[in-house]
Structure 1
Amino acid sequence: MRRVAIEPRRDWRRRAEACGFQFHTIDGAQYWDESAYYAFTLRQIEQDIENPTAEIHRMALDLVDEVVGSETLMERLAIPDAFRDYVAESWRQRDPHLYGRIDLAYDGHGPAKLYEFNYDTPTSLYEAAFFQWEWLENQRERGVLPTDADQFNAIHEALVDRFSELAAQLRPPFHFAAVRDSVEDQGTVEYLHDCAAQGGLPAGLIALEDIGLSEDGRLTDLDDVVIGSLFKLYPLEDLFADSFGAALPRAGVQLVEPAWKLILSNKGVLPLLWERHQGHPNLLPAAFDDGDELPRGWVRKPLFSREGANIEMRYADGRLLRADGPYDGPAIRQALHPLPDFEGRYPLIGSWVVGDRACGMGVREDDTPITRDTSRFLPHAIIGDGCGRMVFAA
């Protein structure tokens, strides 16, 4: 694994906007960064990223099966009482799911370490699935990268195939929804809407703020048509706390992601996995937080925190690094395993699962060891180890 400096394409902004990538710059700060890329070997991808992702995903699903049958585990994960039966029934019915992102710390040597799951509302999808592949193809055409350079990236094809499968499983009409004023979220659902169309699944687009509630407790669109299935780029825990959240268990709507994903979007699964697979090479020691002072060599994470918010990291020498944010409540502790440091730049691997298939990755980079919503997205390439034999390419 190497960080390779490279000259950005002079027309990358035009190309991004022509592809519908409107959030390449967020609040005046550059989000897409092609002034460098991360180079991997085929062996690193297959052995250290792809295979562990598939195994971690299987372990996570096994844990869900255990949690839904245990009030004790539901309590440890702070699943709201009013929604426990709803979450459990969603799993027992095997309500279909679409995708998830597993965040890994990896430096090119030794096993990748699981930081957390983003299995409910994972972002950085479009840039991982589509625009970094556009970058790779263009850089090969220009002779900047070898003609046999590749990427761990079959995300787009996997999404189209998954939507084709979901077409027979979801109740119509199907809608995609996101917060109206979020350019990033709207861009993501528009991309997914296009993937669904390619997979033969017709769907509408609606702002979350425009979803209504009928007198008989059904979710409706702007034409007062009852929504049969809803993809919502909005956290389940926030949805359950919303004004119509209490109606969801009886609304008859299929959620994508389904209610059982509330378990896997919860940092509490990290200590539960460690308790069941202690010593696993891809897991870090973790425990539920007791509220005392954070010991040296540990990280504190609230159960439902996102994008690095409210993370506390105490180094072995006593230094404390903290990220502000809106999250409080119960938390977990995870053994400190710092991200690799490439001259003050700290990359995090986001490894994608679509359906139950590990199918690609993206790299987010920050100037601090905590990855936040402002962290940049950099492309990656597979260079060496016979990369021309790759079967991942989009």
Structure 2
Amino acid sequence: MHRERSSPRRDWQQKVESQGLVFGTPARDGTGASRPYWDESVHYVFDMDEVLSIEADVELLHSMCLDAVDNVVISERYKDFGIPEWVWPGIAESWRRRDPHVYGRFDLRYDGSGPAKLLEYNADTPTSLLEAAVVQWFWKTEVFPDDDQWNSLHEKLVERWTEIGDRLPSAELHFTWSTADPTGEDHVTTAYLQETAAEAGLDTVGLAIEEIGWDPVLKRFVDLEEAPMNTIVKLYPWEWVVDEEFGRHAVESLPVTMWVEPLWKMLLSNKALLAILWEMHPGHPNLLPAFLDQPGILTEYVRKPRLGREGANIQIVAPNYETVTGGVYGEEGYVYQAFDPLPEFDGYRPALGAWIVGDSSAGLGIRETAGLVTDDGAAFVPHRIPPT
């Protein structure tokens, strides 16, 4: 694994916009100046052996995560996740039904010299999907046509919709995002997911989550045409849903109205998962030691809010690395994870976003930052695998 420079395509901006990458604010470089969010002036190069190794790690981590959900449901450890008590039965029922899931993204630390380490699992509302599935593939095909890429995302998403289609309450899927997202990233991600479902032969409708209605007489969700919404694909976190007025309807109307990602994913998108995994698999090579609510045996650690996003409210406690980021998270409690800084390449630190679709590893996206925390100033950079 190493980082290389290459000349951006002359009309790269027009090309990535034509592929749907139209949202966003610029990323930041090491001086704090603006840097393109999609930055093809650099990329990472991997050997196929490295990719096969990480791919195996990802599928193992995914199976460990599913075991962790089973463990939490059986032992009713929802309190460790800060989940309201009224939601607990809904999670258990969603898991026992095996409500279908589509995709997720593992954020990993990897430097090319040892096993990938799990930093967190974006299991409910992962973004940077279009960049990973489409934009970097077209970049590779045009700039490095003889090379390969860890990227079967598009094909596997279409295949996954086909697999779960008959387990959904209807062949019509409503894809929804929040208009409160100022960047437009959620809308772009949802539109791309909608495109993959349509390619799988499903009927799709897009609308903002703020436009979803509730029919109190028939006790069902309805769209702008007053038509029933039986399957809703959301890019809106479950912890926000259950906090909203319509949250009880969403939980209590399951499985008549099915939500994707499913309710049981509340247990995977919460950083309490990191501590549960460490309890279940102490010393596992793909895990970092992690503890709930206190650092335990750790003297150097990262304190993460259970439900934090975009690197907010992170505290790093380690000599010469002391860092604190601002934000609005933390009331829900914290998880303490051993500090293992991201590797540094030319002054930048890459976090590997390894995608899972269904239960299979599906691709890689890389976001890099000049700082220790991968935040909303990180740039997305492509990767390639040269022929051996």
| Range class of TM-score, shorter chain | over 0.9
Indicate the SS of the match to 2:44: strand
Q: Corresponding residue for 2:374?
A: 371
Indicate the SS of the match to 1:38: strand
Pick from 123, 135, 138: which aligns with 1:134? 138
CA deviation after TM superposition for structure 1 residue 374, in Å: 2.5
Q: Corresponding residue for 1:298?
A: 301
How many residue pairs match? The answer is 375
| Cα deviation 1:262-310 (Å, max 9, x = unaligned) | 0000100111111111111010011112389x96411101111112111
Pick from 59, 63, 66: which aligns with 2:68? 63
> Percent identity at matched positions?
43
* Alpha-carbon distance in 1 for matches of 2:362, 2:189: 18
Query: Any residues of structure 2 matched to 1:213-228 within 5 Å, and which?
Result: 213-216=214-217, 217-228=219-230
Contact 1:176 1:231 in 2 (8 A): yes
> Is 1:351–2:354 an aligned residue pair?
yes
* Alpha-carbon distance in 2 for matches of 1:70, 1:244: 28
CA deviation after TM superposition for structure 1 residue 30, in Å: 2.1
Q: Corresponding residue for 1:54?
A: 59
Q: Corresponding residue for 1:20?
A: 20
* Alpha-carbon distance in 2 for matches of 1:377, 1:278: 33
> Is 1:180–2:179 an aligned residue pair?
yes
Query: Any residues of structure 2 matched to 1:242-261 within 5 Å, and which?
Result: 242-251=244-253, 252-261=256-265
Indicate the SS of the match to 1:260: helix
Contact 1:296 1:318 in 2 (8 A): no
Indicate the SS of the match to 2:16: helix
Pick from 228, 232, 235: which aligns with 1:233? 235
Contact 1:167 1:200 in 2 (8 A): no
Query: Any residues of structure 2 matched to 1:24-103 within 5 Å, and which?
Result: 25-26=25-26, 30-47=36-53, 49-71=54-76, 73-103=77-107
Q: Corresponding residue for 1:165?
A: 163
Structure 2 residues without counterparts, runs of 5 or longer:
28-33
| RMSD of aligned Cα (Å) | 1.7
CA deviation after TM superposition for structure 1 residue 70, in Å: 1.9
Task: Assess, with a 3 A threshold, how the Cα gap between structure 1 residues 291 and 139 changes in structure 2: closer, same or farther.
Answer: closer
Indicate the SS of the match to 2:229: coil
Contact 1:295 1:314 in 2 (8 A): no
CA deviation after TM superposition for structure 1 residue 243, in Å: 1.4
Could you tell me which amino acid in structure 2 is paired with residue 4 of structure 1? E
CA deviation after TM superposition for structure 1 residue 80, in Å: 1.2
Indicate the SS of the match to 2:167: coil
| Cα deviation 1:334-354 (Å, max 9, x = unaligned) | 000100011320100000000
* Alpha-carbon distance in 1 for matches of 2:158, 2:150: 17
* Alpha-carbon distance in 2 for matches of 1:313, 1:99: 30
Contact 1:271 1:286 in 2 (8 A): yes
* Alpha-carbon distance in 1 for matches of 2:290, 2:60: 19
Query: Any residues of structure 2 matched to 1:188-207 within 5 Å, and which?
Result: 188-207=189-208
Report the TM-score, using the length of structure 2 for normalisation: 0.93
CA deviation after TM superposition for structure 1 residue 119, in Å: 0.1
Contact 2:177 2:236 in 1 (8 A): yes
Could you tell me which amino acid in structure 1 is paired with residue 373 of structure 2? I
* Alpha-carbon distance in 1 for matches of 2:180, 2:197: 23
Q: Corresponding residue for 1:390?
A: none
| Cα deviation 1:177-214 (Å, max 9, x = unaligned) | 00125411111111111100111111110111101111
Contact 1:24 1:30 in 2 (8 A): no
* Alpha-carbon distance in 2 for matches of 1:202, 1:101: 26
Could you tell me which amino acid in structure 1 is paired with residue 11 of structure 2? D
CA deviation after TM superposition for structure 1 residue 25, in Å: 4.8
Could you tell me which amino acid in structure 2 is paired with residue 323 of structure 1? T
Could you tell me which amino acid in structure 1 is paired with residue 112 of structure 2? G
* Alpha-carbon distance in 2 for matches of 1:37, 1:140: 11
Q: Corresponding residue for 1:108?
A: 112
Q: Corresponding residue for 2:31?
A: none
> Is 1:212–2:213 an aligned residue pair?
yes
| Cα deviation 1:198-236 (Å, max 9, x = unaligned) | 111111101111011111332110011121010110010
* Alpha-carbon distance in 2 for matches of 1:117, 1:106: 15
Structure 1 residues without counterparts, runs of 5 or longer:
142-146, 387-394
Indicate the SS of the match to 2:158: helix
Indicate the SS of the match to 2:3: strand
* Alpha-carbon distance in 2 for matches of 1:26, 1:201: 35
